[in-house]
Amino acid sequence: MKLHYVTTYEPSHETLGGASWVDRHIISTFASQFDVAISSVSNKDGSDGHVKLEVRGDKSAAARTILRMIRHSEPYFSAKLRSDRNWNGRGRDISSRIVGEPSIVVTSQLPALLLLLDHGIKVDLHIAHNVDAVLAREYDPLPFRILRNSLRTEAMEKNVLRLPTSVAALSIRDVERLRSWGIESSHWKLAGGSTTSTRRTGRIGFLGKGTWPPNIAAIDYLTERVMPLVKNAMGEAAPTVVVGGRGTSRWDSYPGVEVVGEVESAADFYGSVDVVVVPRMGSATGISVKMLEAISSGVPVIVPEQLAADAGLENGYYAAGSAEETADRIVRYYTADPGVTVRDYVEERGVETGLPECVAQLLLDRDRGPLTGDER
């Protein structure tokens, strides 16, 4: 049976962020059971009829977005999508591939779900990478706070996430959030794992898009709060922080920081660092894909305990819940036995053990009859 996998970014482009890594893993799971057809809302630059998701630096797009927020009392998230000139065209294009044939429809990330719902397509399974209302509450600038954007975002998410037949979230904490809204959801635990690296070359890694607010906060926390403590303890022997990803040039002038910019191959990046540090403190939504990506590349990670727990990770990391603990873990990594072995945490894949219950149900129902255009 055909499975239409509609995602936000093209899975083949590693430079577009951790979502592509997630999509590649999930698609590979579905590919063993279905004939998977992949469509994306956006591409690298919003060309060829795709939707442009990044409006920073585009005054015209920003103006259209703000105007829609004011006119329709809409949250920033959906206003920026629906005000894009390619939104309706992209929706019609993808919808035309789905209607009239027996298929299962899966969406990955909220833009993909919103696009299909706007164009009357029934979604069988939605995969929630994060809860955007949490991001809005945490990172909205003052003008958006005045417009009560976080409340608008929460109302929008509650409405649209009730519409798919099933919802799976990558984060255990997000599963709990959605259930508190009355939206039944399952946890999709991503597989990964490898043996640990023992490199000690003096290079700490952080890979992520430098325009995403949680990444900005984490890099600032690492460079401004953690590394001064490390340098006080290690002096000239303190490791360099290697920052990779689009939009990371703002940290280029920081002492002890090496910015490598856009990274075409995550594997090459992880092969050049000793340990990855992801100090995402405080409230969080979603998972740290880079944490899982690093471990699957054999590189140990230093993360808050909650961040590991959100992903269902039981081993393969050093827990650190403050700047002092993070600095201590880094110092111990370079000066003593780290005291932990990164073990495989790969789950067996299958209907019974490796997939959320809602996905297992899709597999059981894959031989159902064709859906008509009206049903879609």
For the residues 256-285, what does the mean pLDDT come to?
88
> 128 - beta bridge partners?
169
Instruction: Write the pLDDT tens digit of every residue in 184-219.
Output: 999 998 855 444 566 789 999 999 889 888 899 999
Is domain 2-190+351-364 in CATH 3.40.50, yes or no? yes
Give the integer Cα–Cα distance in Å for 99 and 373.
Answer: 5
Helix (H) or strand (E) holding 187: strand 186-187
Q: Could you read off the pLDDT of 69-120 as tens digits, one per residue?
A: 999 999 999 999 999 999 999 999 999 999 987 789 999 999 999 999 999 9
| Domain extents in the chain | 2-190+351-364, 203-335
Q: Which pLDDT value is given to residue 363?
A: 64
Residue 366 or 270, more confident: 270
Gap between the Cα atoms of 188 and 172, Å rounded: 9
pLDDT band at 364 (very low <50, low <70, confident <90, very high): low
Distances (CA, A) of 288 to 161, 206, 303, 326: 22, 11, 9, 16
The count of residues in the chain is 376
Whole-prediction pTM: 0.84
| Owner of token pair 């873990």 | 329
For the chain, first and last CA: distance in Å?
A: 16
- Extract the tokens encoding 255: 């002492």
Q: What is the mean predicted confidence (pLDDT) over 260-282?
A: 89
pLDDT at 354: 52
For residue 23, what pLDDT is reported? 92
Instruction: Decide if pLDDT at 55 tops 90.
Output: no
**Matching CATH topology for 2-190+351-364 and 203-335?**
yes
Q: Provide CB contacts within 8 A for 151, sequence distance 6+.
A: none
Average pLDDT over residues 332-354: 48
For residues 86 and 129, is the Cβ–Cβ distance under 8 A? no
Number of neighbours of residue 168 by Cβ within 10 angstroms: 25
Helical ranges in 235-300 per DSSP H: 266-270, 289-296
Please give the DSSP secondary-structure letter assigned to residue 5. Answer: E
CATH for 203-335 (3.40.50.11810, 3.30.420.40, 3.40.50.2000, 3.40.50.300): 3.40.50.2000
Q: Which of 4-18, 53-67, 127-141, 150-164 is predicted most confidently?
A: 150-164
